[in-house]
Amino acid sequence: MSWITRFGRVGKCSGCINEYVSYMIVGGALGALSWIIQVVIKIIAEKWISRPDLKEGISIMLTFFIIGAVGFVVQKRHVFFANGRLEKFYISNAIIIFVVAVVSSLIAHVLDRLGLVSLCILAYPVSALGLSPVSFYINRKWVYQGDRKNG
């Protein structure tokens, strides 16, 4: 059993709830790491790319692939304890990111129409957290399917 699973243990519950708590802990850490990596890539790209839109896009794409590889291994070893498929991981995460972007845009649009522009900054975290159970389910049932190890 990994330290993340022990930390995430909820009472006497086991299985899916513990995996979900571990998934959220790992997801939060990976989210923070991805932001740092993206900023570093943008700083490095300053030397070669002058267009801000290109810097943003390139840094997001590179960060997606770097964090994807790290996230796949960390979730395999510390959350699901099952072999997974890297290509399925990238596909599922690309779909979830797209849905989060759409939901975030809708939330921001509604907040803007209500005159609550200052709350638009919360659109992304609200949509990402709201969709985390869906992401967890897809990862658990499709990406990391198969026999689970005991850790």
Q: What is the pTM of this model?
A: 0.76
pLDDT tens track for 69-111: 999 999 999 999 899 999 999 999 999 989 998 998 899 999 9
Q: Identify which of 66, 84, 68, 65 has the alpha carbon closest to the alpha carbon of residue 19.
A: 84
3-state SS class at 12: coil
Digit-coded pLDDT (tens) for 8-64: 444 444 567 888 999 999 999 998 999 899 889 988 988 888 877 788 888 888 999
